Amino acid sequence: MSLDPERVRQVVQAALAEDIGARDATTEATVPDSARARGVLLAKQELIVAGLEVAAATFRVLDPGAAWAPDAREGDRFFPGTVLGTVSGRARALLTAERVALNFLQRLSGVATLTRRFVDAVDGTGTRIRDTRKTTPLLRFLEKHAVEAGGGVPHRSGLDTGILVKDNHVRLAGSVRQATLRALAGADGLPVEVEVEEIAQVEDAIAAGAHMLLLDNFTPDEVREAVALVKGRVPIEVSGGVRLENLRAYAEAGPDFIAVGALTHSAPAVDISLEVEPA
């Protein structure tokens, strides 16, 4: 779950530039340049924390000497009123960085918190929860990190790290078999996963050499039927129509993975505050 510090720094700098513009007019007008302060990060609701490194990097971009003391690790559960960590340094830097740091921390912890709900819901079934590419542009590496913090399993990070033959590829190729054969011929060692939309396509994909199947918009009963047909020859992933309310039924049907776009495209931000006082 480690993050590339340089990528984090670049994203943080861009976010700060967007927020600050020419200057933080309010802080410059009200806080002396020499003032120092201490900030306490508080959980305002139950949450799974993710993004601590990003929050720390945000403060340190504006104050390289800022002291960061986390009371948490990525993936830890926190309850309302508990302290996630503290940061000390130049008061102006803490105040100017506050909103950007919290935006990252609240967003990523929101992804981790929702992911943990899905992971907990399939506990004991053997099915693992995966993310998708339905992420915020330019923030994918952070959101996928948050999914891992929540206990999920990362899917491909981009189009160059794996082949996933989707319905549109199948239509353009003419059939599941043809699309699979073409994908394998051009895979150059990459894993080839093939999406099927009906039971009749399962055997075609396996016979053509697919390394994994993605069952798209199958019902739990149809997933169970496909699992029985495949008999463990290739891993099976389920996607489409899966919600917390029906997740357990899908998991008990026996797939290896369930991919959930909502982990990254619909996770609500959690509530975290920064309480700042003179140091």
- Please identify every residue annotated as catalytic: 99, 134, 166, 195, 216
C-alpha to C-alpha distance for 203 and 201, rounded to whole angstroms: 6
Under DSSP, the state recorded for 133 is S
> Which residue type, as a one-letter code, is found at position 238?
V
CA distance 30 to 33: 10
Angle at 44 between CA 70 and CA 58, to 5 degrees: 45
Return contacts of 163-167, CB within 8 angstroms, 24+ apart.
163/187, 163/190, 163/191, 163/192, 163/193, 164/193, 164/194, 164/195, 164/214, 165/192, 165/193, 165/194, 165/195, 165/210, 166/195, 167/195, 167/197, 167/216
**Can you tell me the distance from the alpha carbon of 25 to that of 95, in angstroms, rounded to the nearest whole number?**
11
d(CA 85, CA 75) in angstroms, rounded, equals 14
- Residue 161 has a CB neighbour count (10 Å cut-off) of 11
Residue 10 phi/psi, 5-degree rounding, is -65, -45
